[in-house]
Each structure stands twice: as C-alpha cells, then as structure tokens.
Amino acid sequence: MTDLYTRSGSVCELCANSENLSVYELPPNGDGSNKESPSLLACDICVDQINNPEKIDVNHWRCLNDSMWSQVPAVQVMAWRMLTRLSAEGWPQDLLDMMYLDDETLAWAKAGVEAESDDDAVIHKDSNGAVLSAGDTVTLIKDLDVKGTSFTGKRGTAVRNISLVQSNPEHIEGRVNGTQIVILTKFVKRVN
C-alpha cells in the first residue's frame, strides 16, 4: 500500500483528489499475465461511481483527460473502461480516439468491460439487421439532411469508427464532413 501512495503522490490516480483514498483492485486480465499491480489508489467518489453506474456524474470524469496519459497500466485500464462506459456523451469518445494502450493492456481493459456487460445490453442493428459494434464502418443508404448544418450527408458516404448511443438502439454517432453527428441506424449499412 505504501508503494501506491508513493507512486500516486498520495492522490487519487483518476481524479487527483487527496481525501478518502483507498486501494481499488481491478480484476486481473483473463490469462492472469498482467505483470503490473492490478490496483490503483482511488478516492471514495471515484470508487462509488465505478461500482454504481447509476450514480455516475459525467462531469466528474473529465479528470480522465489527464489521468488517461498515466504510465501505470492499472490507471490506463480504468480510464479506458470509464471512457468506454461514458462514450455516448460525445467528449469521452474523443478522448478514447486519442488514447493508446499496448495490446496486453487493451486486452485487460476489454476483458473487464465484457465482464461488466449484461444480457439486457442495447443492441444496435443497421438497415439490414446486421449488429453494429463501436468502431465499425457504415455507409449511408440515402441522402440525409444534417440538422444544424448547411450540408447533406450523401448516399454512399462512409462513416468510420462509429460510436453507439447506449440509451437508444436506433442512434449511432459518427463523423460526416468532419462534423460529429447522430445518425439513425435505419439509414446505414455496415461495411464488412
């Protein structure tokens, strides 16, 4: 535990809060090969929101803009998991797009997210009924007028690296003409 306090400078490794700190154990990755400590020093606020998704204060997690650059794999994993959980908000997806994890650390992060997901997860399907996943590439199947802009998304336009709106199975987000927009799934087709 003293190592964690020394490593973190006696502050939460996620939000830099210096009060009510405790050791938070991350589940080890699937093959048990993580060489680094599977724990980090976190404040009660972060731990409570990690363990109780219904209590999440999205703005609290803007702190990940700094902590996601940590060199500590456990901190990287927790930052990636929280950004993934919040990606429907828009700004967390932008941070995820910038974040780099080595293959082993990314596998550890993804293993935890898959363990958290449950059977009543929202499923997004394209116009043909194909299941969409975050990061897929889709094409528009018709011209779409984009509200609030002066352009039309043309039929056949590829939208790469989409993100899923977790609160609505009919909405995805992606960039068209450099603008992040919400697109109805019935107007897209997944590219294989």
Helix (H) or strand (E) holding 140, with range, is: strand 138-140
Rounded to whole angstroms, how far apart are CA atoms 78 and 75?
A: 5
At 162 the pLDDT is: 93
Rounded to whole angstroms, how far apart are CA atoms 181 and 176?
A: 7
Rounded to whole angstroms, how far apart are CA atoms 35 and 12?
A: 22
Q: What is the average pLDDT across 118-147?
A: 85
Question: Higher confidence at residue 1 or residue 179?
Answer: 179
Rounded to whole angstroms, how far apart are CA atoms 28 and 179?
A: 38
Average model confidence (pLDDT) for the chain?
86
Question: Higher confidence at residue 122 or residue 46?
Answer: 46
What are the structural domain ranges in the chain? 2-116, 124-190
Q: Are 11 and 19 in contact (CB under 8 A)?
A: no
Q: How confident is the model at residue 47 (pLDDT cuts 50, 70, 90)?
A: very high
Q: How confident is the model at residue 115 (pLDDT cuts 50, 70, 90)?
A: low
Widest pairwise Cα distance in the chain: 59
At 119 the pLDDT is: 45
> Residue 116: is its pLDDT beyond 60?
no
Q: What is the CATH number of domain 124-190?
A: 2.30.30.40
- Residue 10, sorted as left (phi over 0), alpha (psi -120 to 50) or beta, turns out to be left
Cα–Cα nearest to 117, from 53, 31, 182: 53
DSSP 141: S
The sign of the dihedral angle between the CA atoms of 139, 121, 94, 109 is: negative
At 96 the pLDDT is: 87
